[in-house]
Structure 1
Amino acid sequence: MKTIKISGLDKPVTTLIQGSDYFRPSVYEQVSTVLDRYFAIGGNTIDTAHIYCGGESEVAIGQWLRERNNREDVVILTKGAHHDQNGPRVNPAAIESDLFTSLERLGTDYIDLYALHRDDPNVPVSVIIDALNEHIAAGRIKAIGGSNWTTERLQEANEYAEKKGLVGFTFNSPNLSLAKAQEPYWPGCISADAAYCEWHKEQQMPLLSWSSQARGFFTGRFTPEDRSNEDLVRVFYNDQNWERLRRAEALAKEKEASTIQIALAYVLNQPFPTCALIGAQNEEELLSCYEGSKIELTEEELHWLEFV
């Protein structure tokens, strides 16, 4: 499987990252089967978060790590400082609390990739970077990133880090997909538009995309007439995205691939380092993603798919 390099890590990061937002100890047999098969085809990175399944996602992953005794072969991406019912929690105390809880659940003493699940523009980037660097210095975090951060805040944070001789963000995890979101899937979420991608191209900062396949928009299960999925209708249903779907279908026929594999290839063939978070729940879905990750698209094909 193809890999990218993220500053701060000795390990490579595979371009397909296995998602875990359905992992729970109660379905551990499925969890272990999915992870075993994912690693068997060359994957090495698992995405999770402090809030996933009320924390049970991290617990299930921790159980698998202990049983397989393979921690040093695995790249863990987890996220913290998500808001709660009281509002934003992007502050040193919340970061520390979530991080220590995640470490305990996962049964490890360090996180490879630690991302802030949300941002709070009211908190100075200096406060955030200083707090994260304390954990880096203590060995609890290898690399830091944002998830659902604007490029302006990422830039500001990294300029502060460089000025102070500290470690800045070396990866970012917004949504990037061929279907363009017309509004956030969840409040406060960020989807990469053309300007956002241009910033990544200039910075060459790795982008790890959640909902990389637009939550099933390209599976063929949805049509403009089928409005049963309210969230997909709200976020992705517009003329431009239906045209992108038609173009992906046409290119899929040409390349003897499936439409959803073309959508995945779109994410993985950007002019900057990218990974795709995938939600594979069985071998068929996993192998589909694996084959899609091998597809190469030219710059012309990317532009033809995207700009309608």
Structure 2
Amino acid sequence: MQRRVLPDTDLNASVLALGTALFGSSINETESFRMLDRFYEEQGNFLDTSLNYADWQWPIKGISEKTLGKWMQLRGNRQDIVIGTKGACPLLNNGPFLRLQREDIVSDLHQSLRNLRTDTIDLYYLHRDDPSKPIAEIIEILEEQVKAGKIRYYACSNWTLPRIQEARRYAKENGKRGFVVNQMMWSLATVNRHHLSDPTLVSMDEKMIQHHRETGLSATPYSSQANGFFSGKYAAGDDQADSGVGRHYYNEVNFSRLNRVKQIARDRDLSCSRIALAYMLSPAHGFAVYPVIGPKSITQLDDSMAAVDVQLDFDVIRMLEAP
């Protein structure tokens, strides 16, 4: 797998980021280590996690980060790994959902450092925004942590375009680094936003794409394979319309795109999921994209990693995008 320096940083990251939301929980530690080893053997070194990953299903808090921390310590490879984790995480049960007070950011960061068994985090995302908080206050808190050596670069996850633009203006006008990455929900499939259970999730749209092209801001999209919509398991008129994938992705545009993906996959003797991920990796987008993959098995991981070798020309990209 190729690696490339993430723009505006010195982080030499693999072009795919391995999503680890279930590592250490429903994907047990042994299998998690197998997948991490396999990813690393193929030169994958970009890991995506969060302080609260798997907290919704597992009694041990921070189990994803803790699993990665243990693996890096056992393998002795921390210096070759690019860790992207998220703080200021929304509380999943009782308590304030939006958490961007100074104490929220700093306490989450320190807990992530302990979980990951590291002194610094390469890429630190704010998991959500709180529009009531001044941008200047947020950026200055993050800058303090950079100066303290706790984080190397900072980024945003599920922030709206106006707030990203406001943060960029503040950073530019005040000589600050600002966000180097934006993480959002994005794939070849269009999401049915009215069915999302969390209204604070932000998905890619044309205005945001244009901002990325104009500024060169990198993207690390989650749900980059539409949660398996292009895996071949789903079809119009089947009995899975009420599943999570069905609620989020069943619509006329997406089934049309799925049919085109199937045709290209047949022509090239490749899996549909590989074509859908190759779309996300295409340079035709006009800015650096590091898709976050979420395999649940070695087989799925191998299929996703193979997508980096699939080349889709500009005409194919535009054909896939057409409604």
TM-score range, shorter chain: over 0.9
Match of 1:37 in 2: 38
Is 2:97 the partner of 1:87? Answer: yes
Q: Choose the corresponding residue for 1:65, options 65, 72, 90.
A: 72
Letter in 2 for 1:226: D
1:250-269 CA-partner distances (Å, limit 9, x unpaired): 11222322111111011111
Letter in 2 for 1:212: S
* 1:7–1:143 Cα contact (<8 Å) kept: no
Is 2:149 the partner of 1:139? Answer: yes
Is 2:321 the partner of 1:306? Answer: yes
1:20-169 to 2 correspondences below 5 Å: 20-24=20-24, 27-54=28-55, 55-84=62-91, 85=94, 86-169=96-179
* 2:7–2:288 Cα contact (<8 Å) kept: no
Q: Choose the corresponding residue for 1:235, options 230, 243, 248.
A: 248
Q: Choose the corresponding residue for 2:271, options 258, 263, 267.
A: 258
Letter in 2 for 1:285: Q
TM-score, with normalisation over the residues of structure 2? 0.91
Structure 2 CA distance, aligned partners of 1:165 and 1:80?
A: 24
TM-score, with normalisation over the residues of structure 1? 0.96
Structure 2 CA distance, aligned partners of 1:63 and 1:261?
A: 31
1:12-63 CA-partner distances (Å, limit 9, x unpaired): 1111111111111782111111100000011001110010123111111111
SS at match of 1:112: strand
* 2:87–2:109 Cα contact (<8 Å) kept: yes
* 2:9–2:180 Cα contact (<8 Å) kept: no
Structure 2 CA distance, aligned partners of 1:243 and 1:163?
A: 45
1:146-198 CA-partner distances (Å, limit 9, x unpaired): 11111221111011011111120011111110011120463311111222212
Letter in 2 for 1:4: R
Is 2:294 the partner of 1:293? Answer: no
Structure 2 CA distance, aligned partners of 1:282 and 1:233?
A: 22
1:236-255 CA-partner distances (Å, limit 9, x unpaired): 11101000100111112223
Letter in 2 for 1:213: Q
1:198-220 CA-partner distances (Å, limit 9, x unpaired): 21111111100101000010011
* 1:8–1:143 Cα contact (<8 Å) kept: no
Letter in 2 for 1:188: T
Name stretches of at least 5 consecutive residues in structure 2 with no aligned partner.
56-61
Structure 2 CA distance, aligned partners of 1:231 and 1:287?
A: 24
Match of 1:224 in 2: 236
* 1:208–1:275 Cα contact (<8 Å) kept: yes
User: Percent identity over the alignment?
Assistant: 35
Report which stretch shifted further, 109-118 or 278-287.
Answer: 278-287
